[in-house]
Chain A
Amino acid sequence: MQRRDWIKLAGAGSIAVVAPNRLLGDTLAGFDRALSDLVGTANVKPDDRIELFVPEDAANGAVVPVGVTSKVPNTLKIVLLINNHVRSKVATLDTSNAMLAPRLSTHLQLESPATITALVHSKLGWFSNSTMVKTLGESCET
């Protein structure tokens, strides 16, 4: 999948869920910029070996649990992105040292439903998997 196709796919999700008062251009540009900074012009291939654990319905937008495990061989880096924020990059774990397993769990503060993407960089290239948090029981304060 070309980067522009992948962005289009992620953008389609965000158009459906972003609140009307959000600046779509800014948020998509944020996602695009983060992706471009990471992968340049490389292809990003969807890959189910990246397991992404995110609740479809989050009880509290201030603490949305997210976990990712990469079974892509020789995983060097895991990056978490969300689609609808100016600063789209959430976390980057450098797993190039064999002592560190390619797994990461944390919590995110989301103001609105979002598509969460895990990017994995390995010696074979870039891979991704995405999932949506569709509803938030209680948004974080704004």
Chain B
Amino acid sequence: MSVGSVSIRTRIADESTYIDLRISHPMESGTRKDSAGVVIPSWYLTDMDLYHNDVRIGALELGPLVSRNPAISIVLNGGQVDDIVKVTWVDNRGEVGESAVALN
């Protein structure tokens, strides 16, 4: 996976939709040092927006202490097969990305 690519897995059960996100990102906290002792600059996801059928339903702010290649699980109340779930993200360098899937 390239940096910023998003894997979205979904499962509908019990009138809920379980969504597992996996974003490829280094999530550098800005406190680690390289082998030369130089601090590695921070580089981490800061914001994600969640959409259901093009309606923004939530937002997630992240800090630098989330693990590398973040795995994030959320739950929707409801959801039907073929509904579209979309995730957009931005990091502290201003890079952006998005991914969408149809529920199955």
Q: Do A and B bind each other?
A: yes
Residues on A lying within 8 angstroms of B by beta carbon are 62-64, 67, 82, 85, 87, 89-101, 103-111, 140-142
Contact A63 B32 (CB under 8 A): no
Per-residue 0/1 for B58-88: is the Cβ within 8 Å of any A Cβ (1 yes, 0 no)?
A: 1111111111101111111110000000000
Contact B62 A94 (CB under 8 A): no
**What count of chain B residues pass the 8 Å CB interface test?**
31
Contact of A94 among B60, B68, B76 (CB under 8 A): B60
Q: How many A-B residue pairs have CB under 8 A?
A: 93
Contact A100 B58 (CB under 8 A): yes
Contact A105 B66 (CB under 8 A): no
Contact A108 B72 (CB under 8 A): no
Contact B77 A106 (CB under 8 A): no
Q: A105-B72, A106-B72 are in contact. Are A87 and B65 (CB under 8 A)?
A: yes
Tell me the dominant secondary structure on chain B's binding face.
strand
Residues on B lying within 8 angstroms of A by beta carbon are 16, 27, 29, 31-33, 50, 52, 55-68, 70-78
Contact of A108 among B32, B66, B76 (CB under 8 A): B66
Nearest-CB residue, chain B, relative to A97? B57
Cα-based distance from A91 to B61 in the complex (angstroms)? 5
> Which 3 residue pairs across A and B have the least CB separation, nearest first?
A101-B75, A105-B73, A107-B67
